Amino acid sequence: MTTLHELAERLIAKGEGPREPTREPVNTTMIRHWTQAMGDRNPRYQGLDAVAPPAMLQVWTMDRESPSRGPLDDMLDALTAAGYTGVVATNCEHTYARYLTPGEELTYATRMTELTGPKRTALGEGYFLTWLTTWYAKDEPVGEMTFRLLKFRPREESSPTGKRKPYPLKPAVNRDTAFFWEGASSGELRIQTCGDCGELRHPPGPICPSCRSTERSYVRAAGVGEIYSYVVHHNPPVPGHDTPFVVAVVEIPEGVRIVGNVVDCEPSQVGIGMRVKVTYRRMDDELILPMWAPLES
Amino acid sequence: MSTAVAGIGATEFSKDSGRSELRLAAEAVLSALTDAGLTPSDVDGLVTFTQDANDEIALARELGIGELTFFSRVPYGGGAACGTVAHAAMAVATGAASVVVCYRAFNERSGRRFGQPNPHLGGDPSSLGLEMSWHVPYGLMTPASWVAMFARRYMHAYGATSEDFGRVAVAMRRHAATNPAAWFYRRPITLADHQSSKWIVEPLHLLDCCQESDGAVALVVTSAERARDLPAPPAVITAAAQGSGPDQMMMTSYYRDDMTGLPEMNTVGRRLWEISGLRPSDIQAAILYDHFTPFVLTQLEELGFCAPGEAKDFIADGGIELDGHLPVNPHGGQLGEAYIHGMNGITEAVRQLRGTAANQLPGPANILVTAGTGVPTSGLILSRA
């Protein structure tokens, strides 16, 4: 079986990959958008004889539909397969040979340069992967970028016992509320109903406030809802959560409200009226919490 | 029987008192008794918050009070503040005791800080622990975050902005700036300071949140008749009320039809008007509980000083300033003076009625005081004798 370092050596030895073309030449429209977004009023980047800000280097080649698989993809896949599923960028350095001017057609190519590890980091054990991308105008190198990222094995999965670290914010559960948490564990959002008058109720309790019946049952909610109110928590730090994080009051069509985190989107995207769907998150070996994610994603 | 506040006392307000909470309590009670012209042996009743760490009997031992014939505790955090006076007044009116001291003492800044997350809030299968368990697992576990959830909905419903909340903080700090007892004495802020202060829990900035304090406050309650013979001018307890609303929770009543109001404060307000026979226009100043700015707006609405959604205009027009329609917290409130769980606001009302306040208003006759918001709460109307 090939080790990660053997694979790395092979991929590094391959050297620079094929030159990839870019869709558009260096152009004044993008320069104007970029300088306005950055608030950069340097006159060198304006007018008929404008040059491109050097820091835009990556802008000319950024493309969501990556043209072809490169050596990096093989390395990243191998690291993921080995359990290093987390990823975080750690370094990015640019070197510029000269200014670029509108109309220039660029190509770029990437070579892998280094794999180090395994290293112990605050995030967990991981490997640092480094590559070098060079931009060319015809055959003239005009700029370079050294990029490094850490592929790491998230902490919870690496404990010696194979158990996750206990989540610090456990709910209290008693015989009136156990059905809800059991439902969450099996991927159901259970809302209490009165066994006599049928009224729905959340949070649940032992007696129906409408008819005083102690007969209780529950319905399985469809799992969609709308944000009724929400907060973005910044300070102070809260155990078990990275800040900022979002908590919302969600109104569900069954007719009750429920509180939960909003995940899988940026806090700035959250708003009152936003439609969300339930998603279940495992917090530790015992607890699964129902949370909410944007419906349109 | 008519009752009155006959004496007030407090320690200094600080960030690190350097002494035990029991000692703070004892100092404040002695100071209030001295103010009332009474001694510990005159006391036969004590009332405090369920959250207070100093038992009535411990305090009685320290001060050599001797026998007690009445002691009670008022629950629900800062919602207890005016409730202690309500309990004391009832005890005096029914004859259960003749001189009752209300007290609250803590090292809330140098000791256990209420604003910090407590992972055990949801861990206990008591009714409160179960209630908290619908929120704490999601990290919704600080007072600022609980209030922020209401504030966001309020902004959505009425078009209020962060600046509308900020104007409350600016007014409180302006009042505190000329109150030598205030922690923020001579330290006013601008609206720009408010807007640039860091996020605590959006939509609340740091300067929407009251400070944390060490200190103690005590009040002596006795019959109005006896108070008239004591050296300090009495503040008559015209009305005292407690209240909780339908579907009430501790800080997280998110499951009611509406999230823009404080029904429990509405209950307290209605009782105060019924008992006193007064109306909002009969009130010359209000001490409104200001642990977080948004609920000052809500209280103005629930108590009938303006219509729902209009508090932002009331405040923007200078309504809560010292020369406004309804001066609010002339001492600077908990945002400006100190956070003693609402008890320092009651002493400010007494000073205003006596004419001895740092920022003295022109001869107020009736002052309304409220206690903690977002929780079952309480209120008072105190009047000049």
pLDDT, tens digit (0-9, with 9 covering 90-100), for B351-382: 999 999 999 999 999 999 999 999 999 999 99
Least confident of A155-159, A220-224, B38-42, B163-167: A155-159
- A264 φψ region: left (φ > 0), alpha (ψ -120 to 50), beta (else): left
CA distance B219 to B49: 13
B125/A228 touch (CB, cutoff 8 Å), yes or no: no
- Residue B201: closest C-alpha in chain A: A233
pLDDT at A18: 86
Mean pLDDT across A67-81: 81
Contacts of B129 in chain A (CB under 8 A): 172
pLDDT at B36: 98
Q: Is the pLDDT of residue B12 over 90?
A: yes
CA distance B370 to B83: 10
Angstroms from B361 CA to nearest CA on chain A: 38
Task: Express each pLDDT in B65-87 by its tens digit.
Answer: 999 999 999 999 999 999 999 99
Angstroms from B297 CA to nearest CA on chain A: 18
Q: Is the pLDDT of residue A125 over 80?
A: yes
Q: What is the mean pLDDT of chain A?
A: 91
Mean pLDDT across A148-173: 81
Contacts of B133 in chain A (CB under 8 A): 171-173, 177
Task: Express each pLDDT in B270-287 by its tens digit.
Answer: 999 999 999 999 999 999
B138/A228 touch (CB, cutoff 8 Å), yes or no: no
Contacts of B131 in chain A (CB under 8 A): 203
Least confident of A158-167, B78-87, B125-134, B374-383: A158-167
Mean pLDDT across B101-107: 98
pLDDT at B72: 97
Contacts of A245 in chain B (CB under 8 A): 139
CA distance A276 to A292: 6
B119/A239 touch (CB, cutoff 8 Å), yes or no: yes
Mean pLDDT across B236-257: 97
Of A167, A228, A258, the CB nearest to B153: A228
Please give the structure tokens belonging to residue B8.
């007030």
Of B117, B123, B149, the CB nearest to A249: B149
Mean pLDDT across B155-175: 98
Handedness of CA A138, A140, A143, A144 (dihedral sign): positive
Burial class (CB in 10 A: 0-12, 13-18, 19+), B23: middle
Please give the structure tokens belonging to residue B194.
């408010």
Tell which CATH classification among 2.40.50.840, 3.40.50.720, 2.130.10.10, 3.40.50.300 matches the domain A178-188+222-294. Answer: 2.40.50.840
Task: Express each pLDDT in A174-216 by its tens digit.
Answer: 999 999 999 999 999 999 999 999 999 999 999 999 999 999 9
Cβ–Cβ under 8 Å, residues A49 and A129: no
Of B130, B140, B153, the CB nearest to A259: B140
A177/B130 touch (CB, cutoff 8 Å), yes or no: yes
Q: Tell whether ipTM is more than 0.90.
A: yes
Mean pLDDT across B96-119: 94
- A167 φψ region: left (φ > 0), alpha (ψ -120 to 50), beta (else): beta
Active site residues of B: 289, 339
Of B119, B129, B145, the CB nearest to A231: B145
- B40 φψ region: left (φ > 0), alpha (ψ -120 to 50), beta (else): alpha
- For helices B294-302 and B143-158, give the axis angle rounded to 10 degrees: 60
Q: Is the pLDDT of residue A71 over 80?
A: no
Q: Domain segments of chain A: what residues?
A: 4-158, 178-188+222-294
Q: Is the pLDDT of residue A159 over 60?
A: no
Confidence of residue B125 (pLDDT cuts 50, 70, 90): confident
Angstroms from A41 CA to nearest CA on chain B: 25
- Residue A263: closest C-alpha in chain B: B138
pLDDT at A223: 97
pLDDT at A73: 85
B200/A234 touch (CB, cutoff 8 Å), yes or no: yes
Contacts of A234 in chain B (CB under 8 A): 198-202
Interface of A with B (CB under 8 A): 167-174, 176-177, 202-203, 228-241, 244-245, 247, 249, 256-261, 267, 272, 283, 287, 289, 291
Q: What domains, with CATH codes, occur in chain B?
A: 3-111+211-384 (3.40.47.10)
Omega of the bond prior to A244 within 30 degrees of 0, cis?
yes
Mean pLDDT across A258-273: 97
Q: Which of the listed ranges A162-176, B104-118, B277-291 does the model predict with the highest average pLDDT?
A: B277-291
Q: Is the pLDDT of residue A158 over 50?
A: no
Q: Is the pLDDT of residue A297 over 60?
A: no
Angstroms from A36 CA to nearest CA on chain B: 24
Tell which CATH classification among 3.20.20.20, 3.40.250.10, 3.10.129.10, 3.30.930.10 matches the domain A4-158. Answer: 3.10.129.10
Cα A143 vs. chain centroid, distance in angstroms? 29
A:B CB pairs within 8 Å = 125
Of B149, B200, B201, the CB nearest to A229: B149
Cβ–Cβ under 8 Å, residues B137 and A168: no
CA distance B14 to B19: 11
Contacts of A257 in chain B (CB under 8 A): 254-255
Q: What is the mean pLDDT of chain B?
A: 97
Residues 6+ apart with CB under 8 A from A140: A97
Task: Give bridge partners of residue B328 from the DSSP assignment.
Answer: B286
B137/A171 touch (CB, cutoff 8 Å), yes or no: yes
Contacts of A244 in chain B (CB under 8 A): 199, 202
Contacts of A233 in chain B (CB under 8 A): 139-140, 142, 145, 201-202
Confidence of residue A64 (pLDDT cuts 50, 70, 90): low
pLDDT above 70: percentage of residues in chain A? 95
| Local structure of residue A48 (DSSP, 8 states) | T
B254/A170 touch (CB, cutoff 8 Å), yes or no: no
Task: Express each pLDDT in B321-353 by its tens digit.
Answer: 999 999 999 999 999 999 999 999 999 999 999
Cβ–Cβ under 8 Å, residues A112 and A131: yes
Comparing B105 with A39, which gets the higher pLDDT?
Answer: B105
A203/B131 touch (CB, cutoff 8 Å), yes or no: yes
Which of A229, A286, A291 to mutate to test binding with chain B, by most B CBs within 10 Å of its CB?
A229
